[in-house]
Structure 1
Amino acid sequence: MNGLLDELRVALHAIWMRRWIALAVAWGIAVLGWAMVAQIPNSYESRARVSVQMNTILPNAVGITPADQQKDMDTIRQTLTSAVSLEKVVRGTDLANTVKTDRDVADRVAGLSKAIKITAQQDNLFEIVATGASPKVTRQVVQKLIDLFVEQNLSGDRDETSTSLKFLDAQLEQRQKQLADADAKRADFQNHYLGSLPGSGSLTDRMGAARTAMAQVESDLAAAQSSLAAVNGQMAGVPASVAGAASAAGVGPARARLNAIQGQLADARARGYTENHPDVIALRNQLAAAQAAARGEPVAAGAASATNPAYLSLRSIQADKQAQVAALLARKAQLQGDLDAITAKLAGDPGVAAQQSKIDNDYQVLKDGYAKLLADREAIKLRGQAQSQTDSIKFSVIDPPTAPRVPTAPNRPLLLTGVLIVALGGGVAVAFVLAQLKATFATAARLEKATGMPVLGSIGEMVTATQTAARRRMLLYYGGGVGGLGVAYIALLGVEMLQRGLAA
């Protein structure tokens, strides 16, 4: 421990012997460092916070989905820091007074790209931070960014919608011409190859339609013929005449009831009722009882005969059924002729069907494409109207751009203090290094250790009164030098604080 203290005492003595060199080095480092600190430009920071709210009132049917809105937000944030947007910032603030050429603008844009920071925070908040050498310009930069933030939302989607509508209009016009040409080609083909054939559409469609119609006609014809046969069978069992009105007084009630039941039964069968129908079964039972009663009733002499009304009704129905059967037979013959004509066309020119199918397919593809383009145009138009009347993204400034009064950088008090500490340490270090390069022996023991020879003793320095006074003056001068360094440090701190106070 004593050895360590001796080494420390020797080092301090060596530094003290070179104290003027240490003071000079400290002043040199301090002056140079403080000058460098003074040359560092002030950096001011302006901040603002913007709230971005998505409009969720409109349904997704108009094409504005939450994913689209989030994409718009990301796009706007990236676009704000693009070269085009930063050039607008340069030309829209006082920075425009500092540029004359495109090269100057490019340099300013490059500087702004490093000085601007846009951060997405929670709750749909964006923080815009800009740093610069001028507090006024820094605030203008943040305000201009906010203006661009709003402007791009209001105009970006509208420009995109307008461009899309122009493109779709051009495509629709082109497709409309192609569709008209395809329609004309299809009409020419049908007039040339299919004009004499019945029906419409392709040969396959016409063949299918004719066969379907033929099957329906055959079914209707079978039903009509069956109904006609039933009417003929009914007429065979109904007498053409009955007792006339001249002897009506001689006709008994049993025969009158029989005639009435026969008429009702004929009407029921004419309506298409089958023999198992409840009304027909009841009438047949009544008819059997009426016939038995009529046979037991005497017929008055001299009764004249008259036409049976039931028979006349059946004759009328028979005529209608015959006309219906004749019409269906004629329709069947016509359809058979159509089928024969289409079959002959297919057999005579088998390539016509394939050619027509190709023409129809091309026409349908163009028609579907035109309809899709038209639907897309209406959807984009609706989306544009929705965005123009109710913005999909709304902005509100939560914190307006701050007007910085005090520079955020550099921290001059800290730098001035650091320079002073480095200067003092540098002076001491230089003095210590010089002491090591030019060794001196402050004690007899150190000399004995260095030479390896015994030291008999040491003689103290004899200082006269004049030398003592001179040394005191030099010590005062040295203290003044050290104190001057401290006074300079305090003065610089005072100037810095004064400037900050005036700026605030």
Structure 2
Amino acid sequence: MAGLFDELLVIFHGIWNRRWIALAVAWGVCMLGWLGVALIPNSYQSKARVYVNTQSLLEDKIGITQVQSQQDLDRLRQTLASAENLEKVVRGTDLSQGISGPRDMAAKISALRENISIMAQADPSMIDIIAVSADSSLSDGANARIAQQVAQKMIDIFQEANLTSDRAETKQSLSFLDQQIAERGKQLAAAEQRRAEFEQRFVGLLPGAGSIGQRMDAARQEISNIDSQLVQAQSALSAMNGQLAGTPQSLPGVGASGGPSALAQAQAELSSMRSRGWTSDHPDVIAMQRQVDALRRQGGGGSGTGAGGTPNPAYLSLKSMQADRAATVQALNARKAQLQSDLNVMTSRQTDEPGVAAEQEKLARDYDVLKTQYDKLLSDREEIRLRGEVKTETGSVQFRVIQPPSAPTAPVAPNRPLLLIGVLVLGIGAGVGVAFAIDQLKGTFPTAARLERAAGLPVIGSISQALNAGQVAIERQRLKWFAGASGGLAAVCLLLIAVEFIQRGMA
């Protein structure tokens, strides 16, 4: 430990012997460093904080999710730093002074892009807008004023973009969709006309919908159903014929003096049916009406027909039912014949023109594609219109200035007081280092022990420095000069710091 202390004393003694060299180096380094610090332009920063609410009560109802709203906010934040918006900032602030052409404008925009920061906080609804001005050709007051102007202009552009961007985008989108819908509508109308003409020529007579094959299958299915119905109708008609053959046309009855005629009985029964509320479309009413009509044609006002008998009501009813079932069989046969004829015509057309089915499939495919596109465009237009109304009417992006642009009173960079002190410390360190290096390069021995180790011979003794009264006075004077020069270095540093604070107050 004692040896280490002795070594430190030796080092300090060597540096002290060359203190004037150390002081000169310190002055040189400090003057150069302070000059460099003075040449660094002051950077003034203005900061503003805005609140952007991207939530709306109606957004989720129409499909605008919070993720989409956040994406809209990110997009808006990115477009604020576009060249167009930055040009608005330049023209709306004092930065426009001294611009003589497009080249100057481009240089201003490029410098401004590097000095503007738009950052989101932990809460994504909070956004900080930071503007920095560090133009060495301007005064501190001008830089502070420009920083505040730039921040305020960015807020104005943010509000303008919030109010107009959604409306302009919605208007452009709706205009484009209207144009596309009109074009698709014309194409769809033409496709419908072609398909209608084709169906009129080839498949208009066949039942069902769809392609030729589907319609032919539907016709065959209907013919099969008609065959089943026809078998049932013919069976019912045959059974009716059998019953009618075993039923007499007239019944033995009383004459004109023996009781009421058959016509009167039939009319009375018909009146009874109608009194019960049966309409003229009721099957029993229809049958009885036919019986009355038949009796009237036979002269039913008398007592009967034939050999003193009266008409058989059961026979007349069966006769009417037989006529109905015969008409049903005839109608089914006619419908079957018509379908079979149309089916035969279509089959022959398919044989003669094998491309008919392919043409119909192409027409149907084109129509379906156009119809799908048309419906999709209509749906998109309605959705965009509704979204645009929600965003513009309900204020999907609510903008509020939480902290207006600050008026900078002190530069944020550089920290000149700290730099000045740092240069002073660096200068002192450089002086001490140079003095130490020179001392190490000299071929002297500060102590007898070090000389003894270097020479390998014993050192008998050493003589210390002896000064007379005049030399002591000179050393004291030199010491005062050194102290004054060292204090002057520190005083210059303090003076520069004071000037810096005075300049800040003036700014």
Kindly tell me: are residues 442 and 372 of structure 1, through their superposed partners in 2, closer, same or farther at Cα, counting changes over 3 Å?
A: closer
Kindly tell me: are residues 151 and 230 of structure 1, through their superposed partners in 2, closer, same or farther at Cα, counting changes over 3 Å?
A: farther
Q: Is the 8 A contact 2:50 2:399 kept in 1?
A: yes
User: Partner residue of 2:97?
Assistant: 97
User: Partner residue of 2:130?
Assistant: 129
Match of 1:461 among 461, 466, 469: 466
| Amino acid across the alignment from 1:139 | Q
Match of 2:253 among 240, 243, 247: 243
After TM superposition, list the pairs within 5 Å mapping 1:33-432 onto structure 2. Answer: 33-60=33-60, 62-123=62-123, 124-133=125-134, 134-186=143-195, 189=198, 194=202, 203-235=212-244, 236-237=246-247, 240-244=250-254, 246=256, 248=258, 305-432=309-436
Give distance in 2, aligned partners of 1:59 and 1:425. 66
User: Partner residue of 1:496?
Assistant: 500
| Amino acid across the alignment from 2:466 | E
Q: Is the 8 A contact 2:42 2:411 kept in 1?
A: yes
Give distance in 2, aligned partners of 1:346 and 1:460. 134
1:238 is displaced (CA, Å) by 6.3
Q: Is the 8 A contact 2:247 2:315 kept in 1?
A: no
1:68 is displaced (CA, Å) by 1.9
After TM superposition, list the pairs within 5 Å mapping 1:9-20 onto structure 2. Answer: 9-20=9-20
1:415 is displaced (CA, Å) by 1.6
> Which string of whole-angstrom CA distances, capped at 9 and with x for unpartnered residues, describes residues 350-371 of structure 1?
3333333333333333333333
Kindly tell me: are residues 443 and 197 of structure 1, through their superposed partners in 2, closer, same or farther at Cα, counting changes over 3 Å?
A: closer
Q: TM-score, normalised by structure 1?
A: 0.77
Q: TM-score, normalised by structure 2?
A: 0.77
Q: Is the 8 A contact 2:59 2:390 kept in 1?
A: no
Give distance in 1, aligned partners of 2:131 and 2:32. 31
1:59 is displaced (CA, Å) by 5.0
User: Partner residue of 1:290?
Assistant: none
Give distance in 1, aligned partners of 2:212 and 2:196. 14
Kindly tell me: are residues 21 and 373 of structure 1, through their superposed partners in 2, closer, same or farther at Cα, counting changes over 3 Å?
A: same
Q: Is the 8 A contact 1:22 1:427 kept in 2?
A: yes
> Which string of whole-angstrom CA distances, capped at 9 and with x for unpartnered residues, describes residues 235-281 of structure 1?
43466335247465699xxxx9xxx9xx99xx9xx969xxxxxxxxx
- Cα-Cα RMSD: 3.8
3-state SS in 1 of match to 2:50: strand
Give distance in 1, aligned partners of 2:221 and 2:85. 70
1:87 is displaced (CA, Å) by 3.3
3-state SS in 1 of match to 2:97: helix
Does structure 1 residue 29 correspond to structure 2 residue 37? no
* Bigger mean CA deviation after superposition, 72-81 or 470-479: 470-479
Unaligned runs of at least 5 residues, structure 2:
135-142, 285-306
Kindly tell me: are residues 443 and 321 of structure 1, through their superposed partners in 2, closer, same or farther at Cα, counting changes over 3 Å?
A: closer
3-state SS in 2 of match to 1:25: helix
| Amino acid across the alignment from 1:490 | L
Give distance in 1, aligned partners of 2:407 and 2:175. 45
Counting aligned pairs with the same residue, the percent is 49
Give distance in 1, aligned partners of 2:478 and 2:260. 179
1:405 is displaced (CA, Å) by 1.5
1:181 is displaced (CA, Å) by 4.3
Aligned length: 459
Give distance in 1, aligned partners of 2:203 and 2:473. 139
Q: Is the 8 A contact 1:240 1:308 kept in 2?
A: yes
Give distance in 2, aligned partners of 1:19 and 1:250. 164
Unaligned runs of at least 5 residues, structure 1:
273-302
Q: Is the 8 A contact 2:208 2:218 kept in 1?
A: no
Give distance in 1, aligned partners of 2:376 and 2:260. 86
